[in-house]
Amino acid sequence: MEKQLTIGLSLLLGLLLVMPEVGGRKEESQKRPSRSSELKAGRCSYTFIVPQQKLKGALCVSTESTTGAANHSEVKALRGELNRQQEQLEKLRGQLEQEGALVTEVRALRKESGSMNSRIAQLYAQLLHEVMYKKDQVVKQRRVENLLLNATAQMLQISTSYRELEKKYGALTSMMSNQSQLIARLEKLCQATKNTTPPPQMTSEPLSIQSSGPLNDSSESKEMANDVQRDQGAPPLQPQEEREPLQGTKVLPTTMADTPTDAPFISFPVTKSPGPWRDCQHVLDSGETTNGIYLLRPQSANRLLQAWCEQTKAQGGWTVIQRRQDGSVNFFRTWEQYKQGFGNLDGEYWLGLEHLYWLTKQAHYKLRVAMEDWQGRQVFAEYDSFRLEPESDWYRLRLGEYQGNAGDSMSWHNDKAFTTLDKDKDAYSGNCAHFQKGGWWYHMCAHSNLNGVWYRGGHYRSRYQDGVYWAEFHGGSYSLKTVTMMIKPT
């Protein structure tokens, strides 16, 4: 049934396909009857396709009548096709040209992209490097910050401990000041009672040696003191008020052991030529070549004074202004006493700042400090100029160039005012004279103090640096055996 239907349909299709040609042939046969007669002669001009299979095209075509027209139309079609293909070719060529430009462009772009890539890589490396560097910097910064923090903490700690120390120091200073006031009160009490007890003992042990030494074990010193008294012919226990100073000069104490701390020199006769002399150089120039006490009167000064003249050592002509040799005199004195002078002219004494001022005002003087240690070694320090400013300027020290073999322990005190336990003119917050137990041209406080406590034996043990010392010679904790300060005009 199905097969029959398929055959039927194929036949119909075949008819449909052949129909126009049938019409065409009819027209042609009308136009050209000669040819149709030829066809009628024996050749079949229609072809029927038996639809046993699917239709695949014509199985038979007329060869003669259609060939010329077919060729012509085919050529035409071919030409058209050729034209079309040429057009396409042109189109393709145009496209190709366009594509060629595109290729160049793409190449350029690729090239650019390559260079861009390398640039990006470079930038990336740079960025990486910067990041690393920044990281390093951050680490370093943190380290520095930590260090800073540590330092700050340490500083805080130090400042705290410094404050504590300051508090302690303040307490100690006030204690010292209290003790000094006590000493001053005791001194006043001693004066008031007019007894012959020695000056109040200082807090340090060696001072008791100083005050009690001559009584206990130094019979030689006692004899010497007595000799002085015999020489001057003064009664040993003469009250101070009854003593008559020789023409306004100082007075010597009766004995070393019972010297009131504020007593100036007692009257003392001129042992050598009458004078008065300008100074010991003047004495030497006049032919007096022996050591001893001479009466002096500085030019333009209406005051007489006595001093020991050293005429044998270092070419002579030296006016002794200070001497330490046995600890027989207490040098822990007031301003007034340092101003007027105190001690024994043939032993330990201080000539007096006022006298020094007038002496050094009349000419150009040099200073010589002669020292001896406990092993007998002798050294000296010389300053090519020496003078003092007046009391209104606290007897400020003016010192010249150093030379000698003791070392320079005094230039540090140049241009410094004099300080005593009752007049603080030093640069130190406390009073240097309190700690060093003697008046001096203190700074903060001293490289030398020849007015300290005379300790026996050199190295001393004390809470303070209060010995008779010259730091450049034996340091601050060595108390010298003998010291002489003397001046001479140049």
Q: Which residues bind Ca ion (CB under 5 A)?
A: 424, 426, 428
| Least distance (Å) between residue 435 CB and Ca ion | 10
- Closer Cβ to Ca ion, 210 or 420, answer by number: 420
Rounded to the nearest whole angstrom, what is the least distance from the CB of residue 424 to Ca ion in the complex? 4
Q: What is the nearest approach in angstroms of Ca ion to the Cβ of residue 440? A: 12
Which residues have a Cβ under 8 Å from the Cβ of 356 and sit 6 or more positions away? 321, 388, 395, 487
Closest approach, Cβ 232 to Ca ion, in A, equals 39
Gyration radius of the chain's alpha carbons: 67
**Contact call for residues 246 and 233 (beta carbons, < 8 A):** no
**Of 297 and 443, which CB lies nearer to Ca ion in the complex structure?**
443
CB of 430 to Ca ion, least distance (A): 6
Rounded to a whole number of angstroms, the distance between the first and last alpha carbons of the chain is: 168
Smallest Cα–Cα separation from 465: which of 453, 473, 474, 457?
453
Rounded to a whole number of angstroms, the minimum distance from the CB of residue 178 to Ca ion is 17
- Give the nearest distance from C-beta 444 to Ca ion in angstroms: 8
Residues near 193 by Cβ (< 8 Å), separated by ≥ 6?
none
Residue number with CB closer to Ca ion (278 or 413): 413
Q: Which of 68, 71, 62 is nearest to 44 (CA)?
A: 62
Residue 150 CB, nearest distance to Ca ion (Å)?
Answer: 37
Whichever of 28 and 424 has its CB closer to Ca ion, that residue is 424
- Token pair for residue 248? 């306004």
Give 374 or 428: the residue with its C-beta nearer to Ca ion: 428
Distance CA 401, CA 381 (A): 10
Least CB distance from residue 446 to Ca ion, whole Å? 12
Q: Is 317 left (phi over 0), alpha (psi -120 to 50) or beta?
A: left
Please name every residue paired with 50 in a beta bridge, in sequence order, or none if there are none.
Answer: none
Nearer to Ca ion, 366 or 416 (CB): 416
| Nearer to Ca ion (CB atom), residue 405 or residue 429 | 429
Q: Which is nearer to Ca ion, 372 or 424 (CB)?
A: 424
Q: CA-CA distance, 356 to 366, in Å (whole number)? A: 12
Please identify which residue in the block is written with the tokens 């050294």. Answer: 379
Strands 365-372 and 342-343: unpaired
Residue 464 CA: distances (Å) to CA of 80, 205, 206, 332, 446: 134, 12, 12, 14, 12
Token representation of residue 274: 């009458």
Length of the chain, in residues: 490
Element at 397 (helix H, strand E): strand 397-399
Nearer to Ca ion, 166 or 217 (CB): 166
